[in-house]
Amino acid sequence: MKKNKKIKLKREIEKPIKVFGKQLKLTRVLLILIVGLIYFISLYFEIRTLTPLIIGIIPAILFIIALIVYQNRIIYFGNYSIECSNAGDLYLTKLKGRCPTCDGQLKIVKKFNTEYIQCQNNSEHKFYLEVN
Ligand SMILES: [Zn+2]
Protein backbone atom coordinates (compact mmCIF):
# COMPACT_ATOMS: atom_id res chain seq x y z
CA MET A 1 0.00 0.00 0.00
CA LYS A 2 1.49 3.28 -1.15
CA LYS A 3 0.57 6.03 1.22
CA ASN A 4 3.43 8.45 0.89
CA LYS A 5 1.80 10.94 -1.44
CA LYS A 6 -0.55 13.64 -0.23
CA ILE A 7 -3.44 14.14 -2.56
CA LYS A 8 -6.00 16.89 -2.53
CA LEU A 9 -9.60 15.92 -2.71
CA LYS A 10 -12.12 18.67 -3.21
CA ARG A 11 -15.65 18.75 -1.87
CA GLU A 12 -17.48 20.37 -4.75
CA ILE A 13 -20.76 20.18 -2.92
CA GLU A 14 -21.25 19.97 0.82
CA LYS A 15 -24.86 20.38 1.73
CA PRO A 16 -26.31 19.55 5.13
CA ILE A 17 -29.35 17.32 4.75
CA LYS A 18 -32.21 19.06 6.51
CA VAL A 19 -35.77 18.07 7.25
CA PHE A 20 -38.13 20.88 8.27
CA GLY A 21 -35.11 23.15 8.68
CA LYS A 22 -33.42 20.82 11.13
CA GLN A 23 -30.16 19.01 10.53
CA LEU A 24 -30.81 15.34 9.90
CA LYS A 25 -29.03 13.03 12.33
CA LEU A 26 -28.14 9.48 11.41
CA THR A 27 -29.29 8.07 14.76
CA ARG A 28 -32.69 9.72 14.25
CA VAL A 29 -33.00 8.22 10.77
CA LEU A 30 -32.16 4.76 12.12
CA LEU A 31 -34.73 5.08 14.92
CA ILE A 32 -37.48 6.24 12.57
CA LEU A 33 -36.75 3.39 10.16
CA ILE A 34 -36.73 0.79 12.95
CA VAL A 35 -40.12 2.08 14.14
CA GLY A 36 -41.36 1.97 10.53
CA LEU A 37 -40.15 -1.61 10.09
CA ILE A 38 -41.78 -2.75 13.34
CA TYR A 39 -45.01 -1.06 12.26
CA PHE A 40 -45.13 -2.85 8.91
CA ILE A 41 -44.18 -6.23 10.44
CA SER A 42 -46.84 -5.95 13.15
CA LEU A 43 -49.36 -4.85 10.51
CA TYR A 44 -48.53 -8.00 8.56
CA PHE A 45 -49.24 -10.20 11.60
CA GLU A 46 -52.49 -8.32 12.12
CA ILE A 47 -53.99 -8.44 8.62
CA ARG A 48 -52.07 -11.41 7.18
CA THR A 49 -51.71 -10.04 3.68
CA LEU A 50 -48.47 -9.40 1.87
CA THR A 51 -49.19 -5.70 1.24
CA PRO A 52 -47.47 -4.37 4.41
CA LEU A 53 -44.42 -6.52 3.67
CA ILE A 54 -44.25 -5.19 0.12
CA ILE A 55 -44.57 -1.56 1.31
CA GLY A 56 -42.19 -2.40 4.15
CA ILE A 57 -39.43 -3.08 1.62
CA ILE A 58 -38.95 0.70 1.28
CA PRO A 59 -38.01 1.33 4.96
CA ALA A 60 -36.06 -1.95 4.89
CA ILE A 61 -33.88 -0.75 1.99
CA LEU A 62 -33.46 2.69 3.59
CA PHE A 63 -32.52 0.97 6.84
CA ILE A 64 -29.79 -1.03 5.10
CA ILE A 65 -28.47 2.16 3.44
CA ALA A 66 -28.50 3.95 6.82
CA LEU A 67 -26.63 1.04 8.39
CA ILE A 68 -23.97 1.20 5.68
CA VAL A 69 -23.60 4.96 6.32
CA TYR A 70 -23.41 4.23 10.05
CA GLN A 71 -20.63 1.71 9.50
CA ASN A 72 -18.65 3.32 6.70
CA ARG A 73 -19.54 6.98 7.39
CA ILE A 74 -19.95 7.43 3.66
CA ILE A 75 -22.00 5.96 0.83
CA TYR A 76 -21.67 6.68 -2.88
CA PHE A 77 -24.45 7.28 -5.37
CA GLY A 78 -22.67 7.78 -8.67
CA ASN A 79 -20.96 11.17 -8.45
CA TYR A 80 -22.62 12.06 -5.17
CA SER A 81 -22.19 10.71 -1.71
CA ILE A 82 -23.85 10.93 1.66
CA GLU A 83 -21.38 11.50 4.45
CA CYS A 84 -21.84 11.32 8.17
CA SER A 85 -19.83 13.64 10.40
CA ASN A 86 -18.39 12.56 13.74
CA ALA A 87 -21.35 14.26 15.40
CA GLY A 88 -23.72 12.10 13.34
CA ASP A 89 -24.93 14.86 11.02
CA LEU A 90 -25.70 13.84 7.46
CA TYR A 91 -24.34 15.72 4.47
CA LEU A 92 -24.84 15.42 0.75
CA THR A 93 -21.42 15.81 -0.82
CA LYS A 94 -19.74 15.62 -4.18
CA LEU A 95 -16.08 14.76 -4.05
CA LYS A 96 -13.68 15.46 -6.83
CA GLY A 97 -10.11 14.36 -7.19
CA ARG A 98 -7.89 12.70 -9.76
CA CYS A 99 -5.49 9.87 -9.15
CA PRO A 100 -1.94 11.14 -9.80
CA THR A 101 -0.89 7.68 -10.99
CA CYS A 102 -3.57 6.89 -13.56
CA ASP A 103 -5.90 9.94 -13.57
CA GLY A 104 -8.81 7.84 -12.30
CA GLN A 105 -11.57 9.20 -10.06
CA LEU A 106 -10.77 9.20 -6.37
CA LYS A 107 -13.04 8.26 -3.53
CA ILE A 108 -12.80 8.31 0.25
CA VAL A 109 -12.64 5.04 2.12
CA LYS A 110 -13.40 5.20 5.81
CA LYS A 111 -12.63 2.17 7.88
CA PHE A 112 -12.72 2.13 11.66
CA ASN A 113 -10.67 5.19 12.62
CA THR A 114 -8.65 5.49 9.45
CA GLU A 115 -9.53 7.39 6.33
CA TYR A 116 -7.77 7.23 3.03
CA ILE A 117 -8.31 8.03 -0.61
CA GLN A 118 -8.58 5.24 -3.09
CA CYS A 119 -8.57 5.27 -6.87
CA GLN A 120 -11.69 3.82 -8.48
CA ASN A 121 -9.69 2.30 -11.32
CA ASN A 122 -7.14 0.53 -9.20
CA SER A 123 -7.61 -0.23 -5.51
CA GLU A 124 -3.81 -0.41 -5.16
CA HIS A 125 -3.68 3.37 -5.59
CA LYS A 126 -4.13 4.60 -2.05
CA PHE A 127 -3.24 7.95 -0.57
CA TYR A 128 -3.47 9.93 2.61
CA LEU A 129 -6.51 12.05 3.08
CA GLU A 130 -6.28 15.80 2.80
CA VAL A 131 -9.72 17.20 2.23
CA ASN A 132 -10.27 20.82 1.26
ZN1 LIG B 1 -5.23 5.29 -10.00
What is the domain partition of the chain in residue ranges? 10-128
Distance 105 CA to ligand 1 centre (A): 7
Supply the mean pLDDT for the chain.
90
Distance 101 CA to ligand 1 centre (A): 5
Q: Are the C-beta atoms of 128 and 5 separated by less than 8 Å?
A: yes
- Which amino acid appears at position 117 of this protein? I
Return the pLDDT at 63.
96
Q: How confident is the model at residue 4 (pLDDT cuts 50, 70, 90)?
A: low
List Cα–Cα distances, 91 to 50, 85, 100, 120, in angstroms.
Answer: 35, 8, 27, 22
DSSP string, 49-65: -SHHHHHTHHHHHHHHH
Distance 96 CA to ligand 1 centre (A): 14
**pLDDT 10s digits, 6-20:** 777 899 999 999 999
Distance 9 CA to ligand 1 centre (A): 14
**pLDDT 10s digits, 86-100:** 899 999 999 999 999
Average pLDDT of the residues in 7-34: 94
What span, in angstroms and rounded, lies between the C-alpha atoms of 94 and 81? 6
What span, in angstroms and rounded, lies between the C-alpha atoms of 9 and 129? 8
